[in-house]
Structure 1
Amino acid sequence: MEVRDLRGKVVTIGSMVRYTGTGTSGEVSAVKVEKKQGWAKMNDSDLWYNTEYLEVFTKSETKKSRNNQDKTTAAMEKSKNMRKGLEEIAMGSELCDGGG
């Protein structure tokens, strides 16, 4: 029986996979089938993952993901800097006359 990921791609030793629950990714070091369920073990974590929650990806997909992460990080930094700038603005009440 072939072990497949959530998209139907075959999971083999050496495949690069991502666990969709946490985003953990790594290289598959072992594959097994127990009770008609596929399992893959990752090198880094040394844990077994149910292959229904894994997705196989290629190195080019890794580069795309890193680019998206870099853009997200840059946007978050820009937001933090803008917030910091706004916090430094003094808000006084002497210029306001109430409304009514």
Structure 2
Amino acid sequence: MVLDARDIEIPLESHVRYVETGTIGKVIDVRTKDGVEWVMLDKTNLWYRSKLVELLDEKDIKKSTFYDKESDGEVDIEAMKEKARALEDLELDSKVAEGGG
């Protein structure tokens, strides 16, 4: 049994947040080595000490606008490119807005 920072059991396939950076991922593996409990996250394929992650409720998991809801969490590359193009076309001008004061 692997426990999170709040001493709540972390089941496989659950979602957790790494408290140091806010990285969120699904737990794809757990292990205990030399008395230390670890969880592996799908987003990074890295091991995290279980005492440094928090188990999340489904309502705590924010979906990115770049994810296609119908493709089971796959990243929508075209949406990302479109957003990048929109930011490239942004024109900065000092006459656009005035400061309050």
Smaller-chain TM-score bracket: 0.5 to 0.7
Q: Is 1:29 equivalent to 2:42 in the alignment?
A: no
Q: Which letter does structure 1 place at the counterpart of 2:24?
A: S
83, 86, 94: which one pairs with 2:99?
86
1:1-100 superposed matches below 5 A: 2-62=1-61, 84-86=97-99
Q: TM-score, normalised by structure 1?
A: 0.62
Between structure 1 and structure 2, the one with the greater Rg is 1
Measure, in 1, the Cα distance between the counterparts of 2:98 and 2:48. 45
Q: Aligned letter for 2:98?
A: G
Which of structure 1's runs of 4+ aligned residues deviate more than 4 A? none
Unaligned runs of 5+ in 1: 67-83, 90-100
For structure 2, the residue ranges without an aligned partner over 5 or more in a row are 65-96
User: What is the rounded CA distance, in whole Å, between the counterparts of 2:61 and 2:38 in structure 1?
Assistant: 22
Q: 1 or 2, which has the higher helix percentage?
A: 1
Superposed CA RMSD: 2.0
Q: How many residues align?
A: 68
> Aligned equivalents of 2:21 and 2:49: distance in 1?
13
Q: Deviations over 1:36-55 (max 9, x none)?
A: 11100001100000011000
For residue 12 of structure 1, report the CA deviation from its aligned partner: 1.7
Percent of residue pairs identical: 28
- Report Cα offsets for 1:71-100 as digits up to 9, x if no partner: xxxxxxxxxxxxx5218x8xxxxxxxxxxx
User: Quick one: distance in 1 between partners of 2:98 and 2:61?
Assistant: 35
| TM-score with structure 2 setting the length | 0.61
